[in-house]
């Protein structure tokens, strides 16, 4: 892959000056939160830093009304989805936003697949106590960031390509810690659910799909891989959650990671694994040198700040939209 393509895929591009990001909302178990959970202010980043890092200062993504528009065919299919779900006594009625999200991903218009996804997601929400609120989402993501420091590198919007972007470091995924810490697996699964909500705040984002960038340098089979955990992820949530991954880019991937991804393909839905790219690289080396700036604490605050913006946007759109 060419250098300029990597930059476009890896770094969200700046927009015109906009409003400051709101503070991250405290979770349900917080007694007022703490300063480390608030988004970074622009002055916390050195203006002389590498230009590739500068776009991370900017507000998250566009929010114009056009991003919630549907074609006549999309609206018609979404209404069919709504009618089928509301006739099914086993499925609790969803919002019109969710009916559209299911319809945009299930383009084959297979209503049985749609109903299977809806049942699956309902079971997941009930099992893990999912409530569709910004505070609940930020709570779980904040706890997951604390659980595996350095795994979550960035959550952003790429203005060059028009996609939301999540960046992770798979060498920081310590399966032993997840398995040995009470409630950790549940926190991980819930955090991923809310992050995926944040990556899909409007219909344009759902239609376009998101980028997933994975730093793979240092990945180790024994430390970072547990197929039981990943099977649980896909079986309980990821295979049912309706979203498109526009591209999954593996940076500094070796043979081990390539073999792992071939295994993941067997348990993941096609919208997740059809667009893998291996062997990506940047001149700066590992992706953490690009995103953990000026340090991990500030990067974590930036992630939570931008996730807050994205979830607030999604839930506002969900409340306002009607088929």
Q: Which residues sit opposite 212 in a β-bridge?
A: 166, 248
Rounded Cα–Cα distance for residues 104 and 70 (Å): 10
pTM of model > 0.85? no
**pLDDT tens track for 143-180:** 999 999 999 999 999 988 899 999 999 999 988 888 88
For residues 80-101, average pLDDT: 96
Domain boundaries, the chain: 3-30+59-320
pLDDT at position 267 over 70: no
Amino acid 256: pLDDT: 66
114 and 103 in contact (C-beta within 8 Å)? yes
Rounded Cα–Cα distance for residues 92 and 103 (Å): 17
- To the question of domain 3-30+59-320 being in CATH 3.40.525, the answer is yes
Nearest Cα to 292, choosing from 52, 59, 58? 52
Rounded Cα–Cα distance for residues 111 and 267 (Å): 22
The percentage of the chain sitting over the pLDDT mark of 70, rounded to a whole number, equals 75
**300 sits in which H/E element:** helix 296-320
**pLDDT tens track for 94-123:** 999 999 999 999 987 789 999 999 999 999
Which has the minimum average pLDDT: 4-13, 213-222, 230-239? 4-13
């Amino acid at each position: 892959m060419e250098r300029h393509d990597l930059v476009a895929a890896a770094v969200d591009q700046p927009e015109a000056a906009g409003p400051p990001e709101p503070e991250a909302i405290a979770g349900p178990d917080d007694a007022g939160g703490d300063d480390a959970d608030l988004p970074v202010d622009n002055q916390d980043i050195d203006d002389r830093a590498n230009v590739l890092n500068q776009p991370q200062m900017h507000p998250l993504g566009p929010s114009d009304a056009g991003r919630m528009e549907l074609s006549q065919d999309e609206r018609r299919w979404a209404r069919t989805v709504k009618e089928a779900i509301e006739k099914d006594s086993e499925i609790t009625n969803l919002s019109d936003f969710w009916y559209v999200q299911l319809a945009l991903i299930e383009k084959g218009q297979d209503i049985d697949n749609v109903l299977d996804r809806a049942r699956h997601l309902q079971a997941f929400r009930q099992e893990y106590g999912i409530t569709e609120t910004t505070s609940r989402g930020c709570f779980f993501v904040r706890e997951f960031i604390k659980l595996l420091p350095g795994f979550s590198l960035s959550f952003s919007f790429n203005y060059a390509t028009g996609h939301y972007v999540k960046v992770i470091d798979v060498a920081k995924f310590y399966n032993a810690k997840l398995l040995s810490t009470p409630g950790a697996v549940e926190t991980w699964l819930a955090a991923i659910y809310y992050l995926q909500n944040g990556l899909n705040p409007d219909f344009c984002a759902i239609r376009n799909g998101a980028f997933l960038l994975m730093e793979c340098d240092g990945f180790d089979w024994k430390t970072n891989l547990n197929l039981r955990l990943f099977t649980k992820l896909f079986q309980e949530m990821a295979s049912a959650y309706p979203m498109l991954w526009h591209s999954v880019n593996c940076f500094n991937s070796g043979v081990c990671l390539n073999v792992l991804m071939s295994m993941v393909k067997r348990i993941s839905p096609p919208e997740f694994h059809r667009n893998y790219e291996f062997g990506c690289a940047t001149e700066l080396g590992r992706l953490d040198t690009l995103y953990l700036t000026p340090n991990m604490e500030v990067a974590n605050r930036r992630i939570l700040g931008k996730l807050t913006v994205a979830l607030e946007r999604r839930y506002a759109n969900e409340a306002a939209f009607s088929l």
